Amino acid sequence: MAFTVAIDGPAAAGKGTISKAVAARFGFAHLDTGLLYRAVGAKVGDGAEAIAAAKSLSTDDLVRDDLRTLAAGQAASKVAAIPEVRAALVEFQRRFARQDGGAVLDGRDIGTVICPEAAVKLFVTASAEVRARRRWLELGGEAADQPYEAVLAEVKERDERDMNRSDAPLRPATDALILDTSELSIDEAVARAVAAIEAARA
C-alpha cells in the first residue's frame, strides 16, 4: 500500500539525512528529488539543452559522481526555475511516490506540488549561517576551495532564487510540520520525524 512522506526544505537543512534515516527505519523507498535537477544541470553542463535533458533523464544519470558539488547545486537551481524542466520531471516523481510499500521523497516542492496528498509533510529548515557552515565543512572546512563567507553567499543566493521563482517556489505546505534543525542533533531531528510518521500511521 502506498504511504508517501514529503520532506521539503532549503539546501543543507538536513532533509536528505532525515529522509534516508526515516526511509531505512520504516522500510520505505527513498528518492532525493534534488538529484533529478542536479543530473539535468550536469547534462546541460555537458552541452545538452535543459528541457531535452529532463525529458531523457534515466536512473543511470542519477549515479554520476559529480552531482554533489556546489557547481551541480547551482546548476540544479537554475534548471529548476524552467517550468518545462519541472513538468518533465513531475510524473517521474509521482510514480515513485505511489509505489507499494511506502516512499519518502525529499526536495523543495514535494508537499506543495508533487505530492500535496502525502500522508506526512515535513519542512526541514535551519538558519542560512548554520546551513552554510554545514556545507562548508562538507567541502573540507579550512581545506575547502572556498572560504565560509563565499559558501554563505551562495546559500543565500540559492535561497533567494528558490523562494522567488515563479513556478513551485520553495515554501512549506500549509499542513507541514516545521522542523528547524539549527539547534538539533541529527538523532533529535530524526526522532521528531519518526514520531510524526508513527502518528500518521497509527
Residue 71: CATH number of its domain: 3.40.50.300
Identify the band that residue 47 occupies on the pLDDT scale cut at 50, 70 and 90: confident
Per-residue confidence (pLDDT) for residue 3, from 0 to 100:
96
Name the percent of the chain lying above pLDDT 70: 100
Residue 147 lies in a domain: yes
Per-residue confidence (pLDDT) for residue 58, from 0 to 100:
85
- pLDDT of residue 94 exceeding 80: yes
Residue 127 lies in a domain: yes
Residue 201 lies in a domain: no
Tell me how many domains the chain contains. 1
Closest CA to 63 of 43, 88, 94, 35: 35
- Grid cell listed for 111: 508537499
Q: Cα(191)–Cα(19) distance, rounded to whole angstroms?
A: 12
Per-residue confidence (pLDDT) for residue 167, from 0 to 100:
81
Q: Which domain holds residue 35?
A: 4-195
What rounded mean pLDDT belongs to the chain?
93
Q: Cα(36)–Cα(89) distance, rounded to whole angstroms?
A: 8
Identify the band that residue 139 occupies on the pLDDT scale cut at 50, 70 and 90: confident
Binding-site positions read 9-17
- Grid cell listed for 69: 558539488
Mean pLDDT for 77-97 is 90
Binding-site positions for ATP read 9-17
The model's pLDDT over 172-182, given as tens digits with 9 standing for 90+, comes to 999 999 999 99
- DSSP characters for 114-127? I-TT-SEEEEEE--
